[in-house]
Amino acid sequence: MSEIYHVLRSSQFDRKFLDELYDITNTLRKISQSKKGTDYLRSLMSDRRAMLYFTQPSTRTFLSFLNACQILGIQCSEIRDSSTSSEIKGETQEDALRTFSSYVDMIIMRSPVAGLADRVAELLDDTPRRVPVINGGSGKDEHPTQALLDVYTLRRSFGKTGGDLDGKKIAMVGDIKRGRTVRSLSRLLRHFKDVHIYFVSPESLKIEDDLKKYLIENGMNFTETTNFEEVIPEVDAIYMTRIQDEHDESGESKAIDYSKYYFTCDHLKILKKDALIMHPLPRRKEIDFHVDADPRAKYWRQERNGMWTRVALIAKIFGADKDITEPYGA
């Protein structure tokens, strides 16, 4: 698969798509280093419009999509709070999003409602005004574009030629049960050989059965453990996550000792010299701020990679990736 329309879940992507997106993203970054290149990119999709429908709080995902659209010359409209739309009058989210499709060429959405992006994509597929839908985060389920930027960051960090992740050991630490970034990234890693995932979490926040079943069915190697310090010297990358207490039903997260899953400056001494530290952000206390100065800390680079990966993804959806060449337009 190299063509794509809706972006709803990470299981849509195959290795060919990941390789193509990696190359497009790298080329985009080179082109953007000059004013001539920046102006050229802005001309590629100046005839397109996008709606950013973000009814769940977001900083990085919203801003990276907004700037990704601007890099390609796309004009943007936005809804950041459903109380500012006709939903306050009782309009359904599905009707609201179909309304938006009348005015724009693409809908990028983030919602606390699991499965909403899928339902909207299916609805629009049956209308005369069909537009692509990008899932920018859906409940506890999926965050497919975060997984794309995470894989890009891993590959770019491990090797300038897009070094494969084959044989790498990756620890995913923290709220594994409710972390949608972990769920999406774990699914994407199946496209690389002999990757071993260590799921490190408190007992009550362990990997859920549906993801475990997916990994087993796809022949992936993984280990579940509660011992973070034991894993640190063994792995090539550590993917930290915060506790997802916005999904609490009765404040149950308060009873969990999460401090055992914090990465401290002392841990830098036992981490491999060429290992990576990642985090989808925002963070709380799970990574000491002093760790930021260590060259193995890649989460700020990961954040910027998100914008460029999303530029490449949007360009690919509309076929503009064919014009992202060096020299420009050749």
Whole-number average pLDDT of the chain = 90
Minimum mean pLDDT among 29-33, 168-172, 175-179, 248-252: which range?
A: 248-252
Give, in order, the Cα–Cα distances in Å from 135 to each of 5, 67, 216. 12, 17, 26
- Does domain 10-142+304-323 fall under CATH 3.40.50.1370? My reply is yes
Contacts of 281 (CB under 8 A, 6+ apart): 60, 299, 302, 303
- Ranges of CATH 3.40.50.1370 domains, the chain: 10-142+304-323, 144-302
End-to-end CA distance of the chain: 25
CATH of domain 144-302: 3.40.50.1370
DSSP at 103: T
**Cα–Cα distance between 206 and 198 in angstroms, integer?**
11
Catalytically active residues, by annotation: 60-61, 89, 110, 143
Contacts of 305 (CB under 8 A, 6+ apart): 25, 149, 152, 153, 156
- pLDDT tens for 189-236 read 999 999 999 999 998 889 989 999 999 999 999 999 999 999 999 999
Give how far the C-alpha of residue 161 lies from the chain's centroid of Cα atoms, to the nearest Å: 21
pLDDT for 80 equals: 82
| Averaged pLDDT, 160-176 | 83
pLDDT for 268 equals: 97
Residue 69: which pLDDT band, with cuts at 50, 70 and 90? very high
pLDDT for 1 equals: 43
**Cα–Cα distance between 117 and 100 in angstroms, integer?**
14
- pLDDT tens for 234-291 read 999 999 998 765 655 666 666 677 889 999 999 999 999 999 999 998 898 999 999 9
Given a cut of 80, whether residue 89 has pLDDT beyond it is no
